Structure 1
Amino acid sequence: MPFKPVEQAKCPKCSRSVYAAEERLAGGYKFHKSCFKCDLCNKMLESTNVAEHESKLYCKQCHGRKYGPKGYGFGGGAGALSMDTGAQFGNKESEMSNKPTSGSSGDAGTGPKCPRCGKTVFDAERAIGSTVPWHKACFRCKQCSKALDSTNQNAHEGEIYCKTCYGKNFGPSGYGFGSGAGTLSSDK
């Protein structure tokens, strides 16, 4: 019986034979080590950051940009999803509402609800230092919108305030309680 040589796999990028000592696998294809790079940005790839599409290699970021979801909020690719609502604290026109929204879309969670916005608070977005679950973005003074933490917040009737606003609204009043220069605060 005549000897028949084994046909080597061809690299999809350069169309040359790929030998076992130099092969890299992705999507069922064998590539040369030197050909194992992103088709868009030319970044060298590893098994942890490679994505294959129709025998072409991409880094996960370029693959997400080219083939991932498109539209508002997707930020141009996978890994770039945005939680920014565009609201800026302190700006009265764009200040977030302090009333819970009922039946809001996108709130399918069954966990604890944020007292400020009424939406589910997931662990990744929970404010640290509060026993009550608040979103990090909602954990601000109700009056002045200053960002709060466990050391500078005071609660009153289900709402939170910075020490300055709490003192102005709910602290002692009258002669000797905050009417002189000794009570000025630079807490903002």
Structure 2
Amino acid sequence: MPFIGTQQKCKACEKTVYPVELLSADGVPYHKSFFKCSHCKGTLKLGTYSSIKGVLYCKPRFEQLFKETGNFNKNFQSRKSFSLAG
């Protein structure tokens, strides 16, 4: 009997995610190596990320972007640069 495998595709690269490399956040499959902040590209862990509208952020970047925009309705991705320095 042939191995059927998984049908789950990584949201970041759209390639098949096998169980050994699967990381699922908010029900969305990712390869562990693609589970990164959309701004700083830092590797995320399930306890250290935030997301809005399917876009992943590390907690420090998410908090900084929220402080800069004042709400969650703005598109954080449109920001070209920002500083974490206070």
TM over 0.5, shorter chain: yes
More strand by share: 2
TM-score (norm 1): 0.32
How many percent identity over aligned positions?
Answer: 30
In the other structure, the counterpart of 1:61 is 60
CA contact (8 A) 1:26 1:52 kept: no
After TM superposition, the score normalised by the length of structure 2 is: 0.64
Q: Deviations over 1:110-142 (max 9, x none)?
A: xxxxxxxxxxxxxxxxxxxxxxxxxxxxxxxxx
The answer to whether the Cα contact below 8 Å between 1:26 and 1:50 also exists between their aligned partners in 2 is no
Partner of 1:118: none
Q: CA deviation at 1:7?
A: 5.2
- Alpha-carbon distance between aligned partners in 2 of 1:22 and 1:11, rounded to the nearest angstrom: 10
Question: CA separation in 2, counterparts of 1:67 and 1:6?
Answer: 40
The alpha carbon displacement at 1:47 in A equals 1.5
What CA distance in whole angstroms lies between the structure 2 residues aligned with 1:65 and 1:16?
Answer: 32
Alignment of 1:39-58 (within 5 A): 39-58=38-57
CA radius of gyration, larger in = 1
Paired with 1:54 and 1:6, the residues of 2 have a C-alpha distance of: 29
Deviation at 1:11, TM superposition (A): 1.0
Select the structure with the greater relative contact order (CA < 8 A; seq sep ≥ 6).
2
Distance in 2 of aligned mates of 1:13 and 1:62: 19
Q: CA deviation at 1:20?
A: 0.7
Q: Which has the higher helix share?
A: 2
Q: Measure how far apart 1:65 and its partner are.
A: 2.9
